[in-house]
Amino acid sequence: MSDYGSTPPPPPPPPPYGGYGMQAAPPPNYLVWAILSTIFCFLPLGIVSIVFSAQVNSKWAIGDVAGAQRASELAKKLTIWTVVVGVIGGVLAVAAIIAFGALLGTTGSVNVN
């Protein structure tokens, strides 16, 4: 997968528990938020944020601390945007559904999710 002829640099040494090393902890990958926003908010953007979440881990694993931090920041931003777009889109969609229902004179539709 990531082997292109050269051996990757060794990963940062695992910190001892309670250690105070500067790079003791990998940057957060926001995977939980990325997944939740993907499923419940806006799929296309959410997928991209999951990819950046995964990049946090893969870059950290090869010792690319700066890259992992950049991916972490991007994953966070994209997740926020996924939620924003999803919530706005959801509100618009629900409004449209209600308006459409009122137009057709139906009261309540089949309830899914």
Partner 1 sequence: MAVTAPSGLTRLARGRRALLLPLGVAAAAGVGVAYLSNVDPGVAGHYPTCPFLAVTGWYCPGCGTLRAVHALAHGDLMTAWARNPLAVVGLAYLLVTWALWFERTATGRRPSWLAPPWVLYGVLGAILTFWVLRNVPGWTFLSPV
Select the residue interacting with partner 1 from 3, 4, 7, 20 (CB under 8 A). Answer: 20
CB of 38 to partner 1, least distance (A): 7
How far is the C-alpha of 56 from the C-alpha of 44, rounded, in Å?
19
Site of tokens 């999951």: 50
Instruction: Tell me if 111 contacts partner 1 by CB under 8 A.
Output: yes
Select the residue interacting with partner 1 from 6, 66, 89, 102 (CB under 8 A). Answer: 89
How far is the C-alpha of 110 from the C-alpha of 104, rounded, in Å?
14
The site map against partner 1 for 30-69 (x = CB under 8 A) is -xx--x--xxx--x---x--xx-xxx-xx-xx--------
- Angle between the 43-61 and 31-40 helix axes, to the nearest 10 degrees? 160
